[in-house]
Structures are given as C-alpha cells and as structure tokens.
Amino acid sequence: MNTAKKIIAYQGQPGAYSHLSCRRVHPEMEPFACDSFFEAMFMVERGDAALAMIPLENSTAGRVEEIYRLMPKTKLHIIGEHFEPVNHCLLALPGVKEEELKTVSSHPQALAQCDGNIKEMGLEPIASLDTAGSAKELAESGERSHAAIASSLAAELYGLQVVRENYQDKSGNTTRFLIVAHDSHMPALEADVKFMTTLLFTVRNIPSALYKALGGFATNGVNMVKLESYMASDTMQASSFHLDVEGHPYEQSMQYALQELNFFAKDVRVMGTYPAHPFRYRQDAIIEE
C-alpha cells in the first residue's frame, strides 16, 4: 500500500512522547495514534503502517512489561532504536499566570517525576491516563485554575502555553524506543559502525541452561547489555528471555556465540540488528542533579 508506506504508528494521544519520537526520527512519515501497543504493532503486521514506534524501557519507570508479552506474538522485526529525553512541561491555558493554578493532571509516572515541583507550587495532583490526554482535556475544559504536565508538542497541538519547561525534579529521564517493521532489514557490516542485536529465546529444562546458553557471549568477547526474563506460556514451566548484545551476526565472534546459544536454548529468534543509538555512548547523557 502506498499510503501505509508513509505511516508510522504509535500508542497514545497526539502530543505523546511516542508521537514526538516519531516526528524526530521520521519527520517524512505521518504519525498515526493508536489506543494500545497491540493496535500499533499489529497495524504494521497487517500492512496498514510501515513502522511502529514502541517504548521498551524508561530510565525512571523501568521496563514496559506489556511489550515483552506482545513481541513474541508478532512476526515483526526491529530495525532501529531511539532514545528520547523526557522533558516534562507544565502547561496552562493561554494567558494564565502561575499563581492562578490550583490543580495539575498527568500520567501517574509524570506526576511522580515532578512531585517536588508540584509540592513547591502547592498544586493538587490528579492522575490521568496519559500526558498528552491530560493536555487535550485541559484545552477542552477551559479551566484557568487547572494545569497539565505533558510535552512541548502537546502544548503546540492543543493551543496551550508552556508555564515551565524541564518541570521534572531530576534531569536524565530517558525512554528507549524500538522501531519495528514487517520485514527484516539486516544492515551491512561496517567496521566503523557499532551494532546492537536483539534476541528472543527459551532455555531448555536442564541444569545451568541459562548459564550455558549465555557462556558463548562471554568466551567470545560479545558484550551483553540487557537481559530480561518473562513467562511466554501459561504453563509457568519455562522462562523466555529478551537479550540485547553489542554485535552483528556477520561477525565471527557473534557467530560462535550464537552457535552456543542455539545448542543450549530453543526457539531462538533474532528480532533485529540495527545501528546502536549515539545516546548509548554519550558520557554526559545522564546528568545528576
């Protein structure tokens, strides 16, 4: 479909941080808002969208557990990653002054991340389903004493003013997104490019199975940067794993490591190989305050 080739799906209301990431990474594509991660991912599966921007983890809130359960049920491939710094903004109706504000709404995580500033201003927090949704509701309500915590994009889309930028208590809050497509896009191996490879697998029911399955990465000098476990079935008898490693399957060290993984694990699936995002190697990426 020609139309589908121009669409990148995401979960949330227009103005969400997923929407902001879509515009930042693929400004040439049309972002499409979905009510759920399932809908966003299966739009790509059905061919109704070319890509989906899916959040996997946040430096403050941790992993998005639902994604680990959904990913094995799809035939999607990871073709890229994006790290989006979360810049919460305090939004209000145009012309409203700080001293007029009494209440503020947002997603519970955003409220928690801005708790110090909310208390300092004496605002009453009100939990909402998401950040962009709270901005939309504020614009529709016309309540001058009410504020919302959301992105600057949400302010732009819903005609709100930014009362305060960087409203979070601590800087460094970052979300990692995966960019998924229907077809595999194995990039060519380049000596000056750092690659990430994401794998899914289930360990065999034998002693030390996980230790043995991962041993090949250690002995071949392949750096494992993320390992997450989840239950892939209703039997509760076998654990499945999501593994991110630094490397490309065409490298000899990775080939040896993958041979060992395949020997001691089952249902091994390479979800994708993609260039590592520059954020991973920035020493100043996270600033403590």
* Residues acting as catalytic residues: 175, 177
Question: How buried is residue 210: exposed, middle or buried, by Cβ count under 10 Å (0-12/13-18/19+)?
Answer: middle
Sequence-ordered list of residues with C-beta below 8 angstroms from that of 251, at least 6 positions apart, any chain: 189
Residue 233 DSSP SS3: coil
Q: Is beta strand 103-106 parallel, antiparallel or unpaired with respect to 146-150?
A: parallel
Cα four-point dihedral sign 136, 55, 108, 117: negative
Helix (DSSP H) and strand (DSSP E) numbers for the chain:
9, 15
Distance CA 50, CA 44 (A): 6
CA 160 to each of CA 23, 70, 226: distance values in angstroms, whole numbers, following the listed order: 19, 35, 39
Task: Please work out, in degrees rounded to the nearest 5, the angle formed at the alpha carbon of residue 126 by the alpha carbons of 120 and 132.
Answer: 100
Nearest to 110 by CA among 91, 136, 131, 135: 131
- The CA distance from 161 to 142, in Å, is 13
Q: Is 234 helix (H, G, I), strand (E, B) or coil?
A: coil
